[in-house]
Amino acid sequence: MNAAFPNQPGTSGRKPLTLLIAAPRGFCAGVDRAIEIVERALSRYGAPVYVRHEIVHNRYVVDGLKAKGAIFVEELSDVPDGVPVVFSAHGVPKAVPAEATARGLEWLDATCPLVSKVHRQAERQLEFGRHIIFVGHKGHPEVIGTFGQVPEGAMTLVETVEDVASLDFPADAELAFLTQTTLSVDDTAEIVEALKARFPNIAAPKAEDICYATSNRQAAVKAIAPQSQLVLVIGAPNSSNSLRLVEVAERCGASARLIQRASEINPAWLDGVDTLGLTAGASAPETLVREVVDALTQWRDVEEHTLVTAEEKMVFKLPRQLAD
């Protein structure tokens, strides 16, 4: 960089770029565990190991496991008899492990323990005789998995404050609410407020269902985005938690783009950008962050800063069958 004129091209001829990297970012404890389950299953049983749904929503991770002998399918009916199958981190309806057991399949559950916690809360609320209002995104595998913990009709999905307004229950109905683990902290607070206003007796989860990793990554983006003209979020288009990071950055006034890999960056995006924010969703590996930083250094004199807003020490136990 040119020390006398910081915004002028440095001796390299490239313009300076301040790069603010969010921390925490990337893999959470549930993703680490899910990937390790597939890897351990491959060494324990040998290839092929089937995985129902992408183990986590990241193509790089999925391709890496495919290369080691994992086969990804969407439905249990696509798994042949006699091979082990892993259920993805997002969780599955109860009928899935039941069917696997009925078929005599060796199955391993990579559902994140924090998603399983929501599943158990759903069962408990049902035992209390309450109808469950579930805050989540329609069609997402975690939502399908959580709905599949209770009989049909026992749970109603709301995605927005408007959905709460159109719920057709009396104000004193026996209700409880639960949420998806990867939602926007701010949007969910508004939805929950609307639920409590309409149904003052609604039972709330004991602890926040939005998980620690989701809230920490959103808070970390809030620390970098206001100072950045553009924020790059590494994550897949089907990754709920990564999409939420893009929204958070935009609401802080930055432009934001979801990218899967460095190759998707158009160098023209950096025109007029002096400060760039960078983060990664819970399913995006750190290798992809380094790949993006390396790509940026081809075009600009990058000055890298990491902004740490929380320390994460969470580690989840492996399923019994795979623990040493």
User: Applying CB under 6 A, does 213 fall inside the site for ligand SF4?
Assistant: yes
The CA distance from 7 to 122, in Å, is: 55
- Choice between 84 and 235, CB closer to ligand SF4: 235
Distances (CA, A) of 263 to 27, 131, 218, 293: 21, 47, 25, 12
Residues binding ligand SF4: number (CB under 6 A):
15
Among positions 83-102, residues that touch ligand SF4 (CB under 6 A) are 89
Residue in 282, 288, 289, 302 binding ligand SF4, rule: CB under 6 A: 282
Among positions 135-194, residues that touch ligand 0O3 (CB under 6 A) are 142, 181-182
User: From the CB of 170, what's the least distance to ligand 0O3, in Å?
Assistant: 33
- Choice between 135 and 270, CB closer to ligand 0O3: 135
Residue in 216, 228, 241, 275 binding ligand SF4, rule: CB under 6 A: 241
Question: 142 catalytic, yes or no?
Answer: yes
Cα 307 to its chain centre, rounded Å, is 21
The CA distance from 25 to 122, in Å, is: 29
The tokens describing 312, both together, are 């994460």
> What is the residue type of 6?
P
**Count, residues in the chain:** 324
When CB distances to ligand 0O3 are compared, the closest residue is 239
Q: Residue 236 in contact with residue 58, Cβ under 8 Å?
A: yes
Among positions 66-85, residues that touch ligand SF4 (CB under 6 A) are none
Kindly indicate which of the ranges 26-34, 66-74, 76-84, 285-293 contains the residues binding ligand SF4, using the contact rule CB under 6 A. Answer: 26-34
Residues 6+ apart with CB under 8 A from 156: 131, 132, 133, 134, 167
- DSSP reduced 3-state for 23: strand
Catalytic member of 54, 142, 193, 291:
142
Residues involved in catalysis: 142
List of residues contacting ligand 0O3 (CB under 6 A): 30-31, 56-57, 89-90, 112, 115, 142, 181-182, 239-242, 281-283
